[in-house]
Amino acid sequence: MRLDGITAGRRGVLAGAAVVAAAPWFAPEAQAQLGEVGIAELAERMAAGRISAESLTRYYLDRIEKVDRRGPGLRAVIEVNPDAVREARRLDGERRGRGVRGPLHGLPVLIKDLFDTADRMHTTAGSSALEGARPRVDSTVAARLRAAGAVLLGKTNLSEWAGGMSLTHHAGWSARGGQTRNPYKLDRSPNESSSGSAVAAAADLCVAAIGTETNGSIVDPAAANSVVGVKPTVGLVGRGGMIQGVPSQDSVGPIARTVRDAAVVLGALVGVDRRDPATAGSRFHTDYTRFLDPNGLRGARIGVPREVYFGYSNHADEITERAIETMRRAGATIVDPADIPTARQLEDIQTSIVVQAFEVKRAFNSYLSSTPGEHPRNLAELIAFNRDHRDRELRYVQQDGLEAVQQLDFSESEYRAALATNHRLSRGEGIDAVLRRHRLDALVMPTGAPPGKIDLVNGDSYLGSSSLPAALAGYPAISVPAGFTFGLPVGITFMGTAWSEPVLLKLAYAFEQHTHARRTPTYLPGEVGF
């Protein structure tokens, strides 16, 4: 069960421009003024009085209406905050009276529909079973964003129950939100469960978005939608008030259009969380932008783990080879190959099933039993609810993932032994082993294949990805845009040891500055044959 798997040429650019020119929903005048503008520039415009939090919030709400709900119908946003404009207006007043809280003051952010918000929004994991549920307290993530002065613009769609509902891939589909679509080609998968957050960031529906990852659910959709996704070390960002799946693997991170913007948002999220014991030993920084260096590749030692993480997509391999050559020219020492010794073991590791089944059941039961409202109180009741509402909940997606978790029963000792095995193979004998052996700063590999077509009947195709080692280890990874093939985005992943976010951000930023590989979405319809 997977919870939470050629640079565009002139023709592609011209096709995208034609779509922009012809589409009334695109609002080109507003796009020219605000589209793709980064956090630092938005903050400068606000400081100069050229825009306000209220006008920026209204701009994004208009984009959501025209691009997400109408126009191409991306369905990335599951719900907008009915109080967003009022919150923005209040923050404008605060700016005039007391000054700004920080770089996110007045900037609209979307969060995945897994985070409690003590307001008029729902928290549902995309399930109709939790419609109407009203948490009493903000999640840690929501509270920290509010404290930083961000406007909570709304919540993003996802693979229902973070992808844990079904054993097949139905990325970006939920009963409540429908099917999220890739903004580069609308018949293509948005990839994995933080798909709504990645699509929203790519399509300029927010300044940045928040995603979660158990195994690939930040980095994979970031790559598929040509944005930056940061999957932090487990324990860097508190998960209090979040619907979790596999707590030993779950992490929370930003998805943004640039590495700098992702670094700004990450600094607002980190810290010790009394509701999340994993953060007790957190090694966090409140300003990750200070690690960004356009020359950060110079002198770096970067390994290329070819076994398992190359070879499943010629297109992804080709783009990654060019990326590696770019790093070499920028002054990095490339160690190739630098294989993870346990790579093949990790792909077929049976202890992962034990850990997921044990943790998912307890995490779901804990959340459902403690959340106010009329809804299923445990996993068994949720499964029964889905059967009773199969026309909506099980129209496309089966719940064989939930049923498997409910049926499997492992003891505490079996679970502890399985978790120790996962950590040993992915950490000391895995990522850390190859880093030590070659004295590496990080590993680099394709994030995944170009996004395949959406298939609600059979499930999306899945060729491979690089997310598993960091997932099992609880280690950080960053996906950054690397190029395009047939108009479809491909990203590369920088992966490192625990708490190495500063190093990974430095490398990702330098690569980004050397390539500028990201392109704005084209919103093209699918074509027969590819």
Token pair for 378: 């445990």
Q: Catalytic residue numbers?
A: 112, 193, 217
479 DSSP β-pair partners: 229, 493
Kindly list the strands in the beta sheet with 301-303, ordered across the sheet, starting from the edge strand earlier in the chain: 77-80, 151-156, 108-112, 208-213, 251-256, 228-231, 477-485, 488-495, 442-446, 301-303, 333-335
Q: Are the C-beta atoms of residues 507 and 441 closer than 8 Å to each other? A: yes
30 φ, ψ to 5°? -65, -40
Return all residues near 125 (Cβ < 8 A) that are at least 6 apart. 113, 114, 158, 160, 161, 162, 174, 243
Q: Are the C-beta atoms of residues 185 and 62 closer than 8 Å to each other? A: no
Cα separation values, 149 from 140, 142, 268, 433, Å: 14, 11, 10, 41
80 φ, ψ to 5°? -95, 155
Provide the CB-side half-sphere exposure for 508 (13 A, CA).
37
Residue with tokens 């948490």: 135
State the burial class of residue 291 (Cβ atoms within 10 Å of its Cβ: 0-12, 13-18, 19+).
middle
Alpha carbons 320 and 483: distance in angstroms, whole number: 9
Token pair for 304: 């290329």
Alpha carbons 76 and 69: distance in angstroms, whole number: 9
Q: Residue 49 CB: number of other CB atoms within 10 A?
A: 9
Describe the crossing of helices 39-47 and 259-269 by its angle, rounded to 10 degrees: 80
Return all residues near 191 (Cβ < 8 A) that are at least 6 apart. 171, 172, 182, 198, 220, 221, 223, 224, 225, 448, 451
| Gyration radius (Cα) of the chain, Å | 21
Cα separation values, 366 from 135, 143, 435, Å: 14, 21, 37
